[in-house]
Amino acid sequence: MERSASPGDEQEKADDLDGHRPALREIRSHASRTSRDRSRPGSARGTGTALDQTLSRRDTVLSRLRSRPPIQFTHPLAHIPTTEDQIVDFDGPDDPYHPLNWPTHKKVLTTALYGFVTMTATWASSSYSAGTIQVAQEFHVGTQVATLGTTLFLFGFGVGPLLWAPLSEVYGRRIAVMAPMLVAICFSFGSATAKDLQTLMLTRFFGAFFSSAPVTNTGGVLGDLYSPAYRGIAMAGYAMAVVGGPSLGPIVSAAVAEQASLGWRWTEYLTGILQAFVLVIAVVFIDESYPPKLLVYKARRLRHESGNWALHAKFEEWDVNVKDLCKKFLVRPVQLLLTPICFLVALYASFCYGILYMQLGGIPIIFREIRGWNPLNATLPFLCIFLGAVFGCGANVYNQLLYNKAYYAAGNRAVPEKRLPPMMIGSLLFSGGQFLLGWTGAQRDIHWIVPCIGLVMLGTGFFTIFQAALNYLVDTFQTYAASAVAANTFLRSCFAGAFPLVVGPMFHNIGVGPGSSITGGFAALLIPVPFFFYRYGKRIRAGSKWSKGSVYD
């Protein structure tokens, strides 16, 4: 007569499925024997020995279990090969999903909004300078210590791109800009409500760390939207946003800080309000522009429309590898900086960026301390830098028309050296502007318009050098452009952070004229850089494994 299955048998079968029946049964049997021994009279003497044996055997069994190889779990469809017709791609060069084919008005709107978001970030970098003296008085520190609020902000600008650049390639441009900017707004208001100097310095640094996201990723957005034939014009708009913040921020902030009822804290409140206002508009009107991410959205729509759930984008097969991202955005930028093209071009652009931020302390010394202007009027010369940037923008737009001829003649391929003519002219203006500003600004008997002309020259030179350097690096390194731009961004932020600390002691100790001669002389030493690469750039590119892909015969 057959015995019916008992609950214990069912349990044993379940254990068999786990593959651990012998080990678990051994533990269970020892536990049962120990329990019976404890329940018997007179077993107290053997209880300790039995318990020790049980614990020893338990440890042996557990170590045996741990030594077994872990169970490998795989996706149930992993063994099914993916066919080409299941990979969603753009339907030819005219696919409306591709950002290159977006309507012109949508491209312009996207470019403008990213530009405004970027300008609010660079605005925050300079608006603090108008209240530096008030910060020093409130927290009982020297002006140099209070200036650290600007320096730490710019250092945060240098560190942030190391995170936001790779995130934009994993999650897309939009989220990698909007989410950090939301956090940056919180830190702007945190700076406004800081109760001590330490809190103010920390909120300034982390505000920059998060607000560096649009500064870093807007260049990638422009690469998504525009071909090389039009990218130069778009880059001009982006560069205007970069220079617009440091040029206009000190003027508005000085007007706010000089109001007795407002003070320096409202320069930070105003920055946070401006950032929040622009961010809300950007979130509403900006769409994702990263092509691989757009294909993910397209695949999702096609799955729902066709019912074919195997459809997917190639991007969805990518296993995000932190090691590869670190190599691209941490190791490779250092490797590229060791190449002559990236090092010299990034060094030149970074030096110019540092000189721009040096004027945050230099202009007030010249026009407020030496010429006796009131605090608000002493910031108006920043408009001269902005005016110079407008002239530089016009020069770059004109050069783009000339560049297009070379681009089409090369079979719609980038010609990096054709980006350099504005930089060649700008290098002369940039160096000359510093000499003119320094030696005429400190002389009260010379009309104020003369040093202001020097500032216009400086602004024009900065803009042409900054934009040409960015375009030249992108055209030269192509596949590695993101790493080259990351190297440039980090280096220029280091220069920009250090120069505001130097300008005060330098101008006060050796004078404005000699101090400007030092920076102007260094700028003069860099004048040959664009001329050298214009003549020998192609040969140098061909000899480097990083840039030889941009050489066409």
The tens digit of pLDDT for each residue in 231-249 reads 888 888 888 888 888 888 8
Q: What is the pLDDT of residue 29?
A: 55
Residue 58 lies in a domain: no
Domain boundary among 286, 314, 342: 314
Q: Over the stretch 202-225, which tens digit does the pLDDT of each residue have?
A: 999 999 999 999 988 888 898 889
For residue 345, give the CATH number of its domain: 1.20.1250.20
In a domain, 51, yes or no: no
Please indicate, yes or no, whether residues 457 and 380 belong to a single structural domain of this protein: yes
pTM: 0.78
Q: pLDDT class for 370, splitting at 50, 70, 90?
A: very high
Instruction: Look at residue 71 and tell me if it is in a domain.
Output: no
Asked if 229 and 371 sit in the same domain, the reply is: no
Q: Are 143 and 133 in contact (CB under 8 A)?
A: yes
Q: What is the pLDDT of residue 326?
A: 80
Q: Is residue 498 part of a domain?
A: yes
- The reply to whether 377 and 517 lie within a common domain is yes
Mean pLDDT across 419-443 = 94
More confident residue, 349 or 93: 349
Lowest-confidence segment of 5-9, 268-272, 447-451 by average pLDDT:
5-9
Pair 278, 343 in one domain: no
Domain count, the chain: 2
Q: How far apart are CA 412 and CA 401, in angstroms?
A: 14
Q: Is it the case that residue 302 has pLDDT exceeding 90?
A: no
For 463, the enclosing helix (H) or strand (E) is helix 449-477
Domain co-membership, 363 together with 243: no
User: What is d(CA 453, CA 456) in angstroms, rounded to the nearest whole number?
Assistant: 5
Domain boundary among 287, 314, 341: 314
285 with 431, same domain: the answer is: no
Is the same domain home to 303 and 364?
Answer: no
In a domain, 64, yes or no: no
Of 471, 457, 459, the C-alpha closest to 389 is 459
Which pLDDT value is given to residue 62? Answer: 66
Return d(Cα 444, Cα 442) in angstroms, integer.
6
Average of per-residue pLDDT across 136-158? 91
Domain boundary among 282, 314, 346: 314
pLDDT at 24 over 50: no
Q: Are residues 170 and 258 in the same domain?
A: yes
Are 256 and 283 within one domain? yes
Examine the domain organization and report whether 534 and 454 are in the same domain: yes
Q: Is 121 helix (H, G, I), strand (E, B) or coil?
A: helix
Q: What average pLDDT does this structure show over 157-171?
A: 85
Q: How confident is the model at residue 280 (pLDDT cuts 50, 70, 90)?
A: very high
Q: Identify whether residues 209 and 337 lie together within a single domain.
A: no
Q: Is position 5 within any domain?
A: no
pLDDT tens sequence across 476-486: 988 787 778 88
Coil, helix or strand for 129?
Answer: helix
Characterize 524-542 residue by residue with b for buried, 16 or more Cβ atoms within 10 angstroms of its Cβ, and e for exposed. Answer: bebbebbeebbeebbebbe
The whole-angstrom distance between residue 139's C-alpha and the CA centroid of its chain comes to: 32
- What pLDDT was estimated at residue 16? 46
Predicted pLDDT at 204: 96
Residue 30 has pLDDT above 90, yes or no: no
The phi, psi pair for 459, rounded to 5°, reads -65, -40
Considering the domain boundaries, does residue 430 fall inside one?
yes
80-131 pLDDT, tens digit per residue, is 566 667 887 888 888 888 999 999 999 999 999 999 999 999 999 889 988 8
More confident residue, 222 or 37: 222
Which range has the top average pLDDT, 180-189, 373-382, 393-402?
A: 180-189
pLDDT at 4 over 50: no
> Which among 381, 394, 380, 492 is positioned nearest to 437, based on CA atoms?
381
How is residue 282 written in tokens?
């950007």
Confidence of residue 5 (pLDDT cuts 50, 70, 90): very low
Task: State the DSSP string of 141-181.
Answer: --HHHHTHHHHHHHHHHHHTHHHHHHHHHHH-HHHHHHHHH
pLDDT of residue 61: 65
**246 and 284: one domain?**
yes
Question: Domain span at residue 489?
Answer: 332-548
Longest dimension (CA), the chain: 123
Q: Is residue 79 part of a domain?
A: no
